[in-house]
């Protein structure tokens, strides 16, 4: 595979896992094309090339990569300098915390689409608890210290979405986590993170949550609160 071929990122514009790869592409100053698809109505051509039927999918010529962590590892390898630590143990440690970030994205997503208040509180507690260990690992200003890493790219989409919901609902999803708050605020304000989503992302994301319903007709808990707050 040659590395000069312009990559095509197949995307859904609200997906946090896609945003991870867009951030990495921007940070690496890689020119790329984006093709948006509707995940609720996936085109057959996409299903033909994506065995998992998920985004992001990166197409380089006639080769296809999927899973954001794999895509970002590839982008990091072919576009030096690396965003990973050089030490093998530290690199493995970073990879481990990228996976924790994936789990936290899902915890937060379950909270955001909660059907009832008890359901919301359950997932809210799980989300907040999931931050406990990383609070003591962040060296600042980024995860590993002064240099931006793939861990930062992996966690930034989560913090961006939580920041939107915090402002909309008056919540605090990082209570008592002072190191994490500084890290999150820095990532949300980073140019690559700001430009990794469409200009109307905040509005579109909150509208997506407002449309979430309970048993097909009643607004879910977060949807109700967003409607009341607007």
Residues 17 and 119 in one domain: no
Same domain, 65 and 143: no
Residue 15 annotated in active site? yes
Q: 1 pLDDT band (50/70/90 cuts)?
A: very low
pLDDT tens digits, residue range 137-148? 999 999 999 999
Do 22 and 49 belong to one domain?
A: yes
Residues 66 and 98 occupy one common structural domain: no
- 179 burial (CB, 10 Å; 0-12 / 13-18 / 19+) is middle
Nearest Cα residue to 212 out of 104, 100, 119: 119
In a domain, 83, yes or no: no
- List, in order, residues 6 or more apart from 82 with CB less than 8 Å away: 76
Mean pLDDT of the chain: 94
166 shares its domain with 211: yes
Range of the domain at 57: 8-78
212 shares a domain with 132: yes
pLDDT in tens, 175-193: 999 999 999 999 999 999 9
Q: Is the peptide bond between 34 and the residue preceding it cis, with omega within 30 degrees of 0?
A: no
Is there a single domain that holds both residue 98 and residue 199?
yes
pLDDT score recorded for residue 230: 78
Catalytic residue from among 9, 11, 13, 15 = 15
Residues 75-129: tens digit of each pLDDT:
999 999 999 999 999 999 999 999 999 999 999 999 999 999 999 999 999 999 9
This prediction's pTM: 0.95
Could you check whether the bond before residue 114 is cis, i.e. omega within 30 degrees of 0?
Answer: no
Residue of 22, 172, 151, 35 lying closest to 97 (CA atoms): 151
Tens digit of each residue's pLDDT (9 = 90 or more) over 68-85: 999 999 999 999 999 999
């Amino acid at each position: 595979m040659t590395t000069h071929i312009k990559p095509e990122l197949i995307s859904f514009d609200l997906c946090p896992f896609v945003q991870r790869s867009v951030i990495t592409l921007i940070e690496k100053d890689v020119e790329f094309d984006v093709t948006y698809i509707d995940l609720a109505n996936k085109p057959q051509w996409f299903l033909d090339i994506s065995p998992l039927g998920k985004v992001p999918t990166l197409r380089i010529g006639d080769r296809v990569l999927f899973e954001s962590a794999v895509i970002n590892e590839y982008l990091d390898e072919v576009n030096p300098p690396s965003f990973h630590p050089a030490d093998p143990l530290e690199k493995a440690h970073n990879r481990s915390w990228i996976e924790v970030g994936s789990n936290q994205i899902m915890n937060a997503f379950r909270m955001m689409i909660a059907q009832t208040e008890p359901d919301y509180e359950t997932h809210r507690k799980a989300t907040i608890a999931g931050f406990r260990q990383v609070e003591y690992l962040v060296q600042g200003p980024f995860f590993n210290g002064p240099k931006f890493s793939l861990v930062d790219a992996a966690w930034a989409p989560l913090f961006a979405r939580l920041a939107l919901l915090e402002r909309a609902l008056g919540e605090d999803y990082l209570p008592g986590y002072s190191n994490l708050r500084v890290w999150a605020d820095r990532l949300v304000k980073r140019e690559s993170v700001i430009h990794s989503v469409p200009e109307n992302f905040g509005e579109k994301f909150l509208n997506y949550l407002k449309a979430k319903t309970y048993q097909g007709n009643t607004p879910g808990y977060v949807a109700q609160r967003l409607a009341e707050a607007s």
